[in-house]
Amino acid sequence: MTEPVLEVRDLHRAFGALKATDGVSLSLRRSEIHALIGPNGAGKSTLIGLIAGNLKPDAGQVLLNGRDVTQADVAARARAGLARSFQVSAVAADLTVLQNVVLAVQGARGQSFRFFRPALANADLRAAAEAHIARAGLSGRRAIPAGDLAHGERRRLELAMALALAPRVFVLDEPMAGMGPDGAREMTALLDDLRHEAPILLVEHDMDAVFALADRVSVLVSGRIIASGTVAEIRADAEVQRAYLGEERLE
């Protein structure tokens, strides 16, 4: 059995009296998609923050490729291969698609302190960026300012930027949010392909996508993982039904 690429051990984080993350452990193995589901307010965002490095845990550890990164900041974790996408599309709106992705490529390579050479004249950076843009299906849109993109295109740009990090792990926060059915289907196919590049920790509300993609599913409720298993096991789990899936059906 290979060592997990990403491992979270007994993570705790409280905000005042609220235990947003209460003893969470989970792992992500090579080539797998591990979906994290849970109702609103379950602590998904806090957990992602702890994994990405935006938040520091009160206790517990985060390991990336077996290395303890609990004390590393966001930028250091990104360079170590942790690529995340954001719930709200968070691209630089005034920059073009190409500039956004070049920014990601040079960030990953630690080449952000080059003062004189024009970034876009660097053939090496540019070629890498073009490849990621093509992968995300945005080749025809590379000169468009990110702010002028349609919603689904922005999600693709998010993905192209995550790809640019040459990641060991993807942490994707609701990549389907706000997409139409066609967009969601295309994104599902793209993610299915992506898992061979690096495993994916997928936070998603679209249950069709989760059940189609996930190898394992963990259910987070009130800061705790109440169930973890294959799609079939989770569907059959009575506690999950009560805590989450039932409620979802009522909405």
Partner 1 sequence: MRRETVLNIVLALGLLAVPLAAQAMGEPFIVTLATKVAILALAGVGLNIALGLGGMVSLGHAAFFGIGGYTMAVLAAPVQAYEPLMTWPFELSGTKSMPVIWLAAMVAGALGALAIGALSLRTSGVYFIMITLAFGQMLYYFAISWPAYGGEDGISIYVRNGFPGLNTLDPIQFFALAYGVLMAALMVSWMLARSGFGLALAGARQNPARSAALGIRPYSVKLTAFVISGAMTALAGALFADLNRFVSPSMLNWQTSGEIMVLVILGGVARLFGPVAGAALFILLEHWLGGFSEYWKLFLGLALLGIVLFARGGLIGTLAGREVAHD
Residue of the chain from 20, 33, 62, 91 that contacts partner 1 (CB under 8 A): 91
Stretch that binds partner 1, among 9-17, 114-122, 193-201, 227-235 (CB under 8 A): 114-122
- The token pair at 31 is 């080539």
Number of residues that make up the chain: 251
| Window 70-89: contact mask with partner 1 (x via CB under 8 A) | ---xxxx-xx---xx-x---
In the complex, minimum distance from the CB of residue 246 to partner 1, in angstroms, rounded to a whole number:
35
CB under 8 Å to 154, separation ≥6 — which residues?
89, 91, 146
Q: In angstroms, rounded to a whole number, what is the distance separating the alpha carbons of residues 98 and 133?
A: 8
Residue 17 or 121 having the CB closest to partner 1:
121
Residue 50 identity: L
Q: In angstroms, rounded to a whole number, what is the distance separating the alpha carbons of residues 85 and 157?
A: 10
Residue 50 or 103 having the CB closest to partner 1:
103
| Window 121-150: contact mask with partner 1 (x via CB under 8 A) | -x--x----------------xxxx-----
In the complex, minimum distance from the CB of residue 235 to partner 1, in angstroms, rounded to a whole number:
33
User: By CB under 8 A, what part of segment 177-216 binds partner 1?
Assistant: none
Q: In angstroms, rounded to a whole number, what is the distance separating the alpha carbons of residues 131 and 178?
A: 26
DSSP letter at 4 equals P
Query: Residues 184, 174: contact at Cβ < 8 Å?
Result: no
Q: Is residue 1 part of the contact set for partner 1 (CB under 8 A)? A: no
Stretch that binds partner 1, among 33-41, 59-67, 108-116, 208-216 (CB under 8 A): 108-116
